[in-house]
Structure 1
Amino acid sequence: MKSKQQGSVSKLVIALMGSALFLSACASSSTTADSTIAVSMVKITDAVKAAAWNPTIKITYGDGSINFQPDGIPNHERDAYYAVPNAGVVVPDATTAHIIKDPTSAQKYSFDIPSSPTFSATTTSTSLGSIGVMISGAVLYNPYEGDGKTVAMSSNFTITDSSGITASFVDKCAGHPTPGMNGTGGAYHYHGLPGCVTSQVDITAGPSHIIGIALDGFLIYGANDIDGKAVPITALDECNGITSPTPEFPNGIYHYVLPGTADATSSIRCFHGVVDASQIQQMPPMGPMPDLAAAAIKLGITETELKDAFNNQLPPDFPSAAKKLGITEAELKAALGL
């Protein structure tokens, strides 16, 4: 559990960096041309065209890539209420959360995804933001919450407020919205296998069909193989990938599997294909952040001077920043409300 001060510092980091919280889920590694395996390139355009995409997703087929513009609103029922973190809390539990009405709102996503994905022997870590587009219109996140290590599916909980309203952190579809701040956020996303999505394209004890596409171009499937049997976790690689037949590719193709687990294998932890880092969308901000403009006024300096004092350092170095500003660390933190 994060302390209030730790949570506030986390929000300061976000404000100073001028972007949403964007942590690596595991150690980053780069992909290079030398590590790619050309024979693994398979054109997926026809299969993508035949998949059951939510009609609200704008899909444009180009030369070598496919552009997806989902609005993030899934085409299935969501919970009316969700349990979300209290201010200053990154990863909540039943004692550090409160209930709000479903804050899900339309997002402005645009992903250029390769139509002939290239397998790479070197993996690239997935981030805490969007890592794939699902046929429902929502996006997929990796298994982790905001600290980059707590698995969302294994840390789910349900609380009841004084009005008798009950809400869960993660809903029955393995998803939830980011709580957001000042009108932002509301980005609904999955951390695991969404039964609300597989039920739209699969039958009981039947094979899994396409339920999404990762940013590297490899397709995402549910938990079953071509024979309708559960894919063993031990058959998947470190990125939840496997090369095997699917209904759309009976001769076999490399693809990702969401196995319906509640541990770190619940979602994709890394890309095994060449991925354009510019397509990785950061996670929307969560919770209130320190008001840098107000803090600067209290200190008698400009907001730019305050940001420059921290030098975009992560995590923030309060003693160094205070020294640059010619004040004490206590005075700096007091101005920031920490």
Structure 2
Amino acid sequence: MKHLTYCAVAPVLLAVAGPAAAHEDHCDAVIASVAEAGFADSVTVTCTDSHAVLTSDTFPDHELMTGIVGTNEQIPVPAEYSAPIILTSEFTGTPLTRDAALGVAVNGVPIYDYTGGGEVTEADLAHHQAHHDTVQTGQLDVCGGHAGRGDDYHYHTAPTCMIDAMDNTGEDDAIIGWAFDGYPIYGDNNPDGSAIAQGVLDVCNGQADADFGYRYHTSPEAPYIVQCLMGAVADFDQLPRVRPMTATTGDGAEPGRPPQGGVGNLVMTQNSDGSNSMDYSYQGQDYYIRYAPADTENCYDYTTSTVTNGGEIMQGEFCR
């Protein structure tokens, strides 16, 4: 794999008692970030010799999918996900890109770069990919996320609904997530509350940090959130991916494609029995995807009428 090297402010590394102490402190920081945000009941943090692993079902307790125009006709389905956060970070200044998650929010939802399908390559980092920008193309809901090809919910920009729901919302020193290279992710401001001056953030949307050596931020303008990793990540190509849904019975509907011109009135309804419905309109016609837990674990019964399948009503069971 070829890498590009960018100039960046060298991270400030604090003196610590030793590797073991730094490891323990980093583990404690990850655990505290989840607990202080109020997500300890839905996100489990387990520290190993090398990583803090955040495990969740990636299905956040906030509004989902509402407001999407450029829909891919995918829906969010709970998926067990374990995100490994390195406990001994090593800043390299050599950006790493990936067509999947680059980190995880403190509510357990994966964080991607701003593009819809991992179109940002190392050669593209210095140039905004406007035609792949999930914000500009209307692919994201009012909370900054959507369901991807694996029917997995994830964020591509600042997770605004999650931030609003955090117990420590409004606190600029609140960590909102962690990148896989072990560095924390903060909101639009510096942890001390000061504004981030234009041009300070590097190509990965990060800067030096006095406590962790380096940190990432969200931003109002592209790239909106982490778009690459500046730290070393062993086995980078082996980082986790959510297993996609596959048809086990029924019609085997075609994968969704973004309808030309976008859809309207897209709303997802979540019911107390675990069933969900995503309804929307296109060129004067109504369409929907309805699904509910099946008798088999990790399986869901679907009834759909989508633009992709010409409005035909299709039924089947899909499983992870």
Fold shared per TM-score above 0.5: yes
8 A contact 2:67–2:142 mirrored in 1: no
Q: What RMSD in Å do the two structures reach over aligned CA positions?
A: 3.2
Question: 2:109 aligned to 127, 138, 141, which one?
Answer: 138
Give the Å deviation of 1:230: 2.7
**In structure 1, what is the equivalent of residue 147 of structure 2?**
177
TM-score, normalised by the number of residues in structure 2: 0.59
**In structure 1, what is the equivalent of residue 133 of structure 2?**
151
Separation of aligned partners in 2, 1:260 and 1:28: 30
Name the SS for the 1:110 alignment partner. Answer: strand
Do structure 1's residue 253 and structure 2's residue 213 form an aligned pair?
yes
Instruction: Give 1 or 2: higher helix fraction.
Output: 1
Question: 2:195 aligned to 230, 237, 254, which one?
Answer: 230
Q: Give unmatched runs, 5+ long, in structure 2.
A: 120-128, 246-252, 256-320
**In structure 2, what is the equivalent of residue 288 of structure 1?**
254
Separation of aligned partners in 2, 1:283 and 1:243: 31
Pairwise mapping of residues 317-332 of structure 1 onto structure 2 (< 5 A)? none
Name the SS for the 2:34 alignment partner. Answer: coil
Pairwise mapping of residues 264-279 of structure 1 onto structure 2 (< 5 A)? 265-276=223-234, 277-279=236-238
**In the TM superposition, what whole-angstrom CA distance separates every residue of 1:95-153 from its partner, at most 9, and x where no partner exists?**
xxxxx6x821111322332112111132212x221111111221101111127141112
Calculate percent identity across the aligned residue pairs: 27
Give the Å deviation of 1:177: 1.0
Separation of aligned partners in 2, 1:147 and 1:62: 29
What amino acid sits opposite 1:46 in the alignment? D
**In the TM superposition, what whole-angstrom CA distance separates every residue of 1:294-331 from its partner, at most 9, and x where no partner exists?**
xxxxxxxxxxxxxxxxxxxxxxxxxxxxxxxxxxxxxx
Question: 2:79 aligned to 107, 117, 141, which one?
Answer: 107
Do structure 1's residue 196 and structure 2's residue 196 form an aligned pair?
no
Give the Å deviation of 1:220: 0.9
Give the Å deviation of 1:58: 2.4
Cα distance 1:203–1:212, how it changes in 2: closer, same or farther (>3 A)? closer
Q: Give unmatched runs, 5+ long, in structure 1.
A: 1-26, 87-99, 157-168, 290-338
Do structure 1's residue 120 and structure 2's residue 92 form an aligned pair?
yes
Separation of aligned partners in 2, 1:37 and 1:207: 20
What amino acid sits opposite 1:58 in the alignment? T
What amino acid sits opposite 1:61 in the alignment? C
Instruction: Give 1 or 2: higher strand fraction.
Output: 2
Give the Å deviation of 1:201: 4.7
Please say which of residues 216-225 and 103-112 is displaced more in the overlay. Answer: 103-112
Separation of aligned partners in 1, 2:13 and 2:191: 22
Cα distance 1:190–1:37, how it changes in 2: closer, same or farther (>3 A)? closer
TM-score, normalised by the number of residues in structure 1: 0.56
Separation of aligned partners in 2, 1:144 and 1:213: 19
**In the TM superposition, what whole-angstrom CA distance separates every residue of 1:164-223 from its partner, at most 9, and x where no partner exists?**
xxxxx3112111112x4xxxx22111111112122215454x424111111111111111
Name the SS for the 2:157 alignment partner. Answer: coil
**In the TM superposition, what whole-angstrom CA distance separates every residue of 1:262-286 from its partner, at most 9, and x where no partner exists?**
x2x2122211101131443447769
What amino acid sits opposite 2:115 in the alignment? Y
**In structure 2, what is the equivalent of residue 59 of structure 1?**
45
What amino acid sits opposite 1:45 in the alignment? C
**In structure 2, what is the equivalent of residue 7 of structure 1?**
none
What amino acid sits opposite 2:94 in the alignment? T
What amino acid sits opposite 2:254 in the alignment? P
8 A contact 1:123–1:271 mirrored in 2: yes
8 A contact 1:66–1:115 mirrored in 2: yes
Name the SS for the 2:163 alignment partner. Answer: helix
8 A contact 2:46–2:54 mirrored in 1: yes
Separation of aligned partners in 1, 2:175 and 2:67: 29
Name the SS for the 1:67 alignment partner. Answer: strand
Separation of aligned partners in 1, 2:89 and 2:220: 25
